[in-house]
Structure 1
Amino acid sequence: MPAHTIAVFNAKGGVGKTSTSYNLAVGLQRFHNLRVLLVDIDPQGHAGVALGVNIADLQHRIDEVLQEKASIKDTIVKTESGVDVVPSNILLAEAEIPISGLHGREVLLRRAISSVINEYDVILTDCPPNVGILSVNALMAAKQVLVPVDMSYLGLLGIPVIERILGLIQNRLEHPIEILGVLATRYDSRLNIAKDVLDSLEKHFGDRLFETVIPETVKIREAPSFQASIFDHAPGSSGAMAYQQLTEEVMKRVR
């Protein structure tokens, strides 16, 4: 059975997109023993870094895969977390313009992962925080999209942008991607704006909003510096409990 493909996407930065990508990947592997591939298509490469990948010294990278200079199988790095990673680094940013000129540029990632689609249960893609050919590739390679939204006024303003992009993918590129769920992140119960944004998300998305709310915590922020998931860095923390709850919700929605 082919892998379930999920893109973690928001055009805005600072929403916990990468934290969600790698912690969810580890959660799915650890708590459900799934074979998980995490594709990092963000030139910052932070998803790989967070799982212990040395992105400064890579034998192969995602930009080479998209340009058909390397196979995705040769690019995969196995990590101690149990999650396999297709890493990236800043060279992906340099390759974005050449990639944009390639034939079939919107489906380069989809073609690449087709060779490993039956070797994994879930393939997660961490998207860059913008709208461009890299994010389009991630969305075109996914059946569903998980949308993290931070609890800020600007986070709320970004919702129409996200919906427009998904509409273009569905209608212009004729790819039937669906929203797996919208995830409230960086929630601080002491702030009225956080409560107001969460309330607005509930009204707008209804049951498409995950019940899980990811708290604003130091432990989640510092975990990447230890090259560990929140489950390893602070297993008893509120962040670890929230991401485990998210893992369970995602499992219910992909079955």
Structure 2
Amino acid sequence: MKGGVGKSTTAYNLAVGLVKFHQKRVLIIDIDSQGNAGAALGIEIWQLQKQLKDVLQRHAKLSEIIVKTNSGVDVAPSNILLAEEEIPISGLPGRELLLRKAIASVEAQYDFILIDCPPNIGVFTINALMAAEGVIIPVDMSYLGLLGIKGIERALSLIRDSLEHPIQIAGALATRFDGRNNLSKEVQQSLHNHFGDRMFKAVIPETVKLREAPSHGLSIFEYDASGTGAKAYRELVDEVIKWQ
């Protein structure tokens, strides 16, 4: 429900970590029209012949748009053209299940499928939630970050009650944490109070290296392997691997 909290950063670093440290087969589906997850892994998102919008419009199969990256992560990419098709896609029959049906054809090929969502609750996010088993909620250490939690929980209630899909919160993730900042500590404590044991133990720090890595088409594990950002995301990877 808020931009800049680390959704894409978490998606691609988690994906690379699952491949690099646990040899898992991982697909990222980038249903955010900014295309950041794909771009961060070196995909030329403005050169795409086919992309996720074509799958959702039933003009292509998901397998036809998947791009293999040097990191070992497969990506179903998108760019701003996806946003331009939101209204037409919203009018399609069974619009909430378009992504779930597309994933069914490739699901057996992967151990993990991660979906990078836009910062709003529209048809694309609903598709992502209807296709997913669990949700990671990245929350940056700000007052506005806390406000976004209510919106997400309301959306999850809609999915469970109105659309009858038993999606769960896999965990809340503290991001952009600055230990020198009292606000960071206060927000983190509020998260712990709210989510309890549904909080990830990993805490993602505010670092320049995490912001720089995408411009080089690299995950934090390649760009700054010994830094605090890499260590934090390695902890997250090890927590997520326990789901299997």
Structure 1 residue aligned with 2:50: 60
- Letter matched to residue 53 of structure 2: D
Q: Aligned partners of 2:137 and 2:109: how far apart in 1? A: 25
- Displacement of 1:251 after TM fit? 1.0
Q: Aligned partners of 1:17 and 1:196: how far apart in 2? A: 21
Structure 1 residue aligned with 2:191: 201
Output one character per residue of 1:37-86: Cα deviation in whole Å (capped at 9) or x when no partner.
00000000010000010001112100000000011111000000000000
Output one character per residue of 1:92-143: Cα deviation in whole Å (capped at 9) or x when no partner.
0001000000000001000001000101000000000111000000000000
Structure 1 residue aligned with 2:68: 78
Q: Aligned partners of 2:169 and 2:20: how far apart in 1? A: 24
Structure 2 residue aligned with 1:102: 92
Structure 2 residue aligned with 1:5: none
1:241 aligns with 2:236: no
Structure 1 residue aligned with 2:13: 23
Choose which of 202, 215, 220 in structure 2 pairs with 1:230: 220
- Letter matched to residue 163 of structure 1: E
Return structure 1 stretches of 4+ with deviation > 3 angstroms: none
1:86-125 aligned at under 5 Å gives the runs 86-125=76-115
Aligned-CA RMSD value = 0.5
Q: Aligned partners of 2:222 and 2:58: how far apart in 1? A: 35
TM-score (norm 2): 0.99
State the number of aligned residues. Answer: 244
Structure 1 unmatched ranges of 5 or more: 1-10
Choose which of 107, 114, 118 in structure 2 pairs with 1:128: 118
User: Percent of pairs identical after alignment?
Assistant: 62
- Displacement of 1:157 after TM fit? 1.2
TM-score (norm 1): 0.95
Q: Aligned partners of 1:129 and 1:22: how far apart in 2? A: 16
Q: Aligned partners of 1:191 and 1:20: how far apart in 2? A: 22
Q: Aligned partners of 2:139 and 2:211: how far apart in 1? A: 16
Structure with a larger share of its residues in helix: 2
- Displacement of 1:160 after TM fit? 1.1
